[in-house]
Amino acid sequence: MQKENVLNLEAQQSTLKNTNITIADVAKRAGVSTATVGRVVGGYGTVSGKTKDRVQRAIEELGYSPNIVAQGLRSKRTKTIAVIIGSVSNSFFASMVSAIESEATEFGYNVLICNSNEDPEVERKHIKNLQSRMIDGIILSSACPAGSSTKIKEKEIYSGSVPIVMVDRRVEGLDLDVIESDNFSAGYKTTNYLLALGHRKIGILGTGNYSTINDRIAGYRKALTDRRIEVIPERIMTTRREKNRYNEKEIDNYFLSNRDLTAIMILNSSLAEVVLLRLNQLTLYDEKTFSIVCWDDSSMNKLMGLTTVLQFPEKIGTEAARRLIGKIEGREMPGEKVNLVSTELKIRSSCKPL
């Protein structure tokens, strides 16, 4: 028992000793300047491989742990970026965040995740809080609805000293870099695919008044117009998701009012499950000819053979992290201010020719 106490005391003393090790101690042990140690620890500047090895060996031998807070105060950087999204439970956002973390780690950055729950007020609170905590940059999927630029309260917080790169959605009036799917082309090509199968009475359903949904609907409208097919407003529906629930009665009324549909495009993965359940309950359409297209792949889509528009959130996340870190570090970043990532139509058995 006495021996165990002695060992514990020695461990505590060793820990206390290590917390007192300074960058000067490391420099002395490695036989280099403190500036060289700073470059190795901070990951900046140029240091030869042999010198870097000596410094890292000295760090390990002395048990030196750099003071990240102090480094941040000196450099005015914390090597931390934040991601603000609707909800990490959304598979699209989850894949995107994973790619952001992977890319950020390559550059030595940590990542914080904030959920806005699609509430603009919560979003702005997050941005203010992050700006006050010396965060280096923010990747933002905005909860602000399309066309709200003139109504955005405290608009200046989006153009402060902390750089922001937007993903998935854009908000008019905010002069920020945007990395998003080519939603207009996705809507246009998908509609043309259904038209080529002989469908003319095509419905389209989406969630929320966001640029992503509006662009997909705009592509749908353009495809019909190009083929001189009338765009019927009653066949277009955008619904809201409140407290993680959709209004099933609203969805039922849509289908009951559009009994002549031969195909449907469902623009959100979260909406697809509810719509499919309602279609199963209503039994309004001929299963042999009725066609369905969903957005964003899932195990359910594969199991049910649902034709799906594939987005690539990993590409969006990787490019957003690269673009943001370039801005933080003052590098010129190639590419357009609005970067469109292509989609792919995965054709399965849920679409049938008429």
Q: How far apart are CA 183 and CA 24, in angstroms?
A: 55
Q: Output Rg (C-alpha) for the chain, integer angstroms.
A: 27
CA separation (Å) from 343 to 51, 131, 185, 313, 340? 47, 34, 8, 10, 9
What does each of the 354 residues of the chain score in pLDDT, given as a tens digit?
444 444 444 444 444 445 578 888 888 999 998 878 877 876 666 788 888 889 889 888 888 876 554 555 455 668 999 999 999 988 999 999 999 999 999 988 999 999 999 999 999 999 999 988 889 999 999 998 876 654 565 677 888 889 999 999 998 888 899 999 999 999 999 999 999 999 999 999 999 889 999 999 999 999 999 999 999 999 999 998 877 788 999 999 999 999 999 999 999 998 999 999 999 999 999 989 999 999 999 999 999 999 999 999 999 999 999 999 999 998 877 667 889 999 999 999 999 999
Which backbone phi and psi does 54 adopt, to 5 degrees?
-65, -45
- Give me the domains of the chain, ranges plus CATH numbers: 2-66 (1.10.260.40), 75-181+313-341 (3.40.50.2300), 183-312 (3.40.50.2300)
Angle between helices 23-30 and 49-62 (to 10 degrees): 120
Which backbone phi and psi does 242 adopt, to 5 degrees?
-115, 130
Per-residue pLDDT, 150: 47
Q: How far apart are CA 276 and CA 263, in angstroms?
A: 13
